[in-house]
Amino acid sequence: MRPMQPENTIDAPGLSVGPTVGSMVGPYRLVREIGRGGMGVVFEGVHSEIGQRVAVKLLLPSGSSKPSSTKRFLGEAKALSRVAHPGLVHVLACGEAPNQAPWIAMEYITGQTLRRRMDQHPGGLPIFAAVGFARQIASAIAAVHKAGIVHRDLKPENVLLTRDDEVKLGERAKVLDFGIAKWVDDDAGLTTEGIILGTAGYMAPEQCVGDQSVESPADVYALGIILYECLCGARPFVGPAAAVLRQHLFAEPPPLSTRVPGLPNELHALVSTMIAKEPSLRPSSDDVAYALRSLEDGLAGTPDIGEPTFRSFSPAIEGAITEPNLPTFPSNTGGTTTERAAFSPSNEPVPPTPVARPKQRLVFAAAIAGAAVLGAAGWWTQQKVKSPPAAILPGMVYLAGGTFVMGSSEAELTEACTSLKGGCTPEEKPQLDREKPARSVTVSAFQLDTTEVTNEKYASFLNITANLLDVRDDRDDKYPRFVMDRELGHLLVDLHPDKGGIQKDPTGAYTVRSGRAQLPVVQVTWDGAVQYCRHLGKRLPTEAEWEHAARGPERRLFPWGNEAPRCDGVRSGREDDRACPGLPAELGEVGSSPQDVTPQGVKDLGGNAGEWVQDQFILPYYGDCGSCVNPMVEQTVPLAEDYRIFRGGTFWSVAWLVRGSTRNRWKRTQVMDGVGFRCAVGM
């Protein structure tokens, strides 16, 4: 919406003279023209009845004569209306009336484009400002990507900086102009292979060749170019459009370190991964936002107390870096009868439902700071098994990796049901079938937390990141209960007084409920687990890594071996007639089950709390994984249908559920009193 020379009329189909200043478009009276772009012209408008001030965008005549252009134009409204995020412009209304140009009414925002700001600082923005604005853009784009939308035309002209006292910089970056956005459920006919859409200076290599399957990594690339330009005042590739496209495809950019002396190595490395030629090597927008959030605090010079500044995601780079000393403070749709009901807060707003095509896509967690990138493409990647590192991170166990047989055969499932105490019921057979087929899998070396994350550690994490969180009250009892990520709108943890172990006290601090400090944190969503691990520069283990830790190459039946679980040795089957009916159904302190320890020293994989892992749950349960090297499953699916795997037995599980091959599922947005997590680090 950058200011342009005003023109009072536009031509619309069927009209000799289009809308002018003073005329009506829908319920809005046009006041003045404020901007003009490739597809549309933007007016300031005022609602004729309530006086609401809006920005009205109308399709230019050069595009309105084509049905596909009209559909793409109105698709901007469709794209934006799906996602609520402070970094996006809110769509208020749209229309396509006879004898009137198609139009979209959006919130009216005053401010300055990022391009204008950069023009005022030809040598580059201050580093903290460049990182802060890029982080805000990444957060907005991450929300868009979760809704199955790709912007495809990110550039400084499409970012508006507007005053917002709620953010550190005092300004909020708002992403504009989704006119060529690709929304993955309804783009048929709007793009054609070989047609290039975007702006040459910021186009990803896959866009430069007219690739019709352009997806979210293209936006990460564009943001990487924007951040590069913000830091040094120039894009990495310049010249005529055709020459720039060739450079995107074949040329290496001048290193930022030569253009900006003293730039933190972590920032240089992050930008380098963002503008990698190969889409699969770029981090996700979510990972970019998180990395920049940590960098932003450190660069601004005022990090939140106890919050670590940016760290590599790789212990091979970190060396002997230890887990931060976190401060302490005073003290259900699952499907089978064995999966307990979850609590889904009915008083929470329903998140936007992403709609996506039913194919697996590439998902990558970037190891910044020059570390190797751990890839995951549906089932993807090849990495070497390494020797133990010089230093194991505190509280973690090193696992050498290797090849093992993952899953179970029909004969093994039959044997488990007939030989184990309590057996299996017919209703449980579908859950058992999730373990088929057995297949050979290879995982690289990794480190895994010795125990599940405790209430004490999670409460400390919440206190450290409190300025990024909102807490919503229980609708009925009016106490602080639902901890939300403010920007992404994700529920992280439910502070249920009976099922959980954390509360928010009258001073505003997150504290541990009496006697629950060393219990595993439960009532935490998949997103809440991911955020905690990322905070420490870690991640959730993949499903293959988890099973390798639980079974080993010898394919142990249980994490500790082949001996059946004892009631005094494993916290499982509590108050269950098929297992340990005389023991109370409750969690125990982490690491307190003497039998439930792997030969390598990993504790509680068999019982106590189930554990979130990275992978999605899809059908068929185990799809084709090709060479099956470091496999991980990830698809673009509606958020309401996004089931994630949790592994391991729980305090209420019977014997067959405690085995190292058992697979469970739960919605990523919901919580359960028996599901927690532990973190991993790739090598």
Answer for the pair 488, 465: CB distance below 8 angstroms, yes or no.
no
Give the integer Cα–Cα distance in Å for 293 and 217. 19
Give the integer Cα–Cα distance in Å for 291 and 266. 9
DSSP string across 41-72: EEEEEEETTT--EEEEEEE-HHHHTSHHHHHH
Which two structure tokens, joined as six digits, stand for 86? 């402070």
Give the integer Cα–Cα distance in Å for 666 and 341. 10
Q: How many CA atoms lie within 13 A of 486 on its CB side?
A: 13
Tell me, yes or no, if 153 is annotated catalytic. yes
Catalytic-role residue among 153, 287, 596, 604: 153
Give the integer Cα–Cα distance in Å for 494 and 245. 49
Reduced DSSP (H G I as helix, E B as strand, rest coil) percent helix, strand, coil of the chain, to 5: 25, 20, 55
Phi-psi region of 189 (alpha: psi -120 to 50; beta: other; left: phi over 0): left
3-state secondary structure 459-475: HHHHHHCHHHEEEEECC
Give the integer Cα–Cα distance in Å for 86 and 210. 32
3-state secondary structure of 447: strand
Give the integer Cα–Cα distance in Å for 484 and 330. 22
What are 303-309's contacts with CB under 8 Å, separation 24+?
A: 304/464, 304/465, 304/467, 305/464, 306/460, 306/463, 306/464, 307/464, 307/465, 308/535, 308/536, 308/537
CA distances 482 to 5, 343, 345, 486, Å, are 49, 11, 8, 12
For 76, list phi and psi in degrees, rounded to 5.
Answer: -60, -45
Q: What per-residue string of b and e applies to 597-636 under the rule 16 or more CB within 10 Å gives b?
A: bbeeebbbbbbbbbbbbbbbbbeebbeebeebbbbbbbbb
Answer for the pair 131, 296: CB distance below 8 angstroms, yes or no.
yes
* DSSP alpha helix (H) spans, 420-481: 429-432, 455-464
Positive or negative, the CA dihedral 317, 457, 591, 405 is negative
Answer for the pair 676, 520: CB distance below 8 angstroms, yes or no.
yes
Give the integer Cα–Cα distance in Å for 321 and 471. 32
Give the integer Cα–Cα distance in Å for 74 and 465. 38
Interacting residues of 478 by C-beta distance below 8 A, sequence separation 6+: none
Neighbours of 52 (CB within 10 A): 15
Among residues 217, 147, 136, 210, which one has the least CA distance to residue 169?
136
Catalytic residues: 153
